[in-house]
């Protein structure tokens, strides 16, 4: 397998300009499908980021202030591990070794985790939630450009969403300690840039011309809009 190989891709009618339609989501997903990397590269990066998310969640479990928080987060960790396992199985189905595809992304993913790391427990929970949600949205959309069989399996694996657990946990923390709100709002905002950058790096396949910025813009606009809705759900300003 080759991480950098180019494969023939179905030709879509070009949709260069964002347009209002009955489904903005559909527009963005078509735009992204044309920029989807090869399956091994997609899987290696998605699995590396999922493993990193699991490490963030398990770090938050280790430092949870209460057993109740620990228990809630183990359920989030379980979803994260299920997604990882689904991606690993898909890698093995393609005849590759997970560690080989993932190794290539270990350094950039570690650097992403460093930049989004906090020593504060609430901020760590926000990180696990916000970065995982944005990247899941992104990889779900990106999967549209994969061959049909893996696409269906991958989109199924990535669809499980444990957000309600974290939303409930953070909302009750903020209710109990309202001073948290402005700090967590700032922290959430800080995460967006790094997360969009790591998403963008998934598209920049070496040897291919740089993606058309005009085409990317509506995709990132939609990711940011979803982020704003998530922050709203926490009662925080995005």
Catalog residues that contact its own copies under the rule CB under 8 A: 51, 54-55, 58-59, 61-62, 66-68, 70-71, 74-75, 77-78, 81-82, 84-85, 88, 97-99, 102-103, 106
**Rounded least distance, CB 62 to its own copies, Å:** 5
Which residues contact residue 166 at a Cβ distance below 8 angstroms, ignoring those fewer than 6 apart?
72, 73, 76, 125, 128, 129
Could you give the C-alpha distances from 8 to 42, 50, 63, 209, in angstroms and in order? 16, 27, 47, 15
Structure tokens at 17: 């300009």
**Rounded least distance, CB 61 to its own copies, Å:** 7
Using the minimum distance from each CB to its own copies, give the nearer residue, 55 or 194: 55
Using the minimum distance from each CB to its own copies, give the nearer residue, 101 or 192: 101
**Rounded least distance, CB 229 to its own copies, Å:** 29
Distance CA 226, CA 130 (A): 10
Using the minimum distance from each CB to its own copies, give the nearer residue, 82 or 228: 82
**Rounded least distance, CB 111 to its own copies, Å:** 15
Using the minimum distance from each CB to its own copies, give the nearer residue, 85 or 168: 85
Sign of CA dihedral 80, 160, 26, 33: positive
Q: Is 134 helix (H, G, I), strand (E, B) or coil?
A: helix
């Amino acid at each position: 397998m080759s991480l950098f190989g180019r494969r023939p891709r179905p030709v879509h009618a070009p949709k260069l300009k964002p347009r209002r339609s009955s489904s903005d989501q559909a527009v963005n997903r078509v735009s992204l499908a044309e920029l989807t990397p090869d399956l091994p590269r997609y899987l290696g990066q998605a699995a590396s980021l999922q493993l990193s998310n699991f490490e963030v969640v398990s770090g938050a479990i280790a430092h949870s202030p209460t057993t109740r928080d620990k228990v809630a987060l183990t359920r989030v960790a379980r979803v994260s591990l299920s997604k990882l396992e689904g991606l690993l199985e898909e890698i093995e189905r393609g005849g590759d070794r997970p560690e080989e595809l993932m190794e290539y992304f270990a350094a950039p993913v570690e650097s992403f985790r460093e930049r989004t790391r906090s020593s504060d427990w609430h901020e760590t929970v926000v990180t696990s939630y916000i970065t995982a949600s944005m990247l899941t949205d992104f990889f779900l959309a990106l999967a549209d450009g994969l061959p049909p069989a893996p696409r269906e399996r991958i989109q199924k694996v990535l669809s499980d969403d444990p957000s309600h657990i974290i939303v409930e946990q953070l909302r009750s923390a903020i209710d109990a300690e309202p001073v948290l709100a402005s700090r967590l709002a700032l922290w959430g905002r800080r995460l967006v840039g790094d997360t969009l950058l790591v998403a963008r790096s998934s598209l920049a396949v070496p040897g291919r011309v740089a993606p058309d910025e005009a085409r990317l813009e509506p995709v990132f606009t939609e990711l940011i809009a979803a982020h704003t809705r998530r922050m709203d759900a926490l009662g925080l300003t995005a």
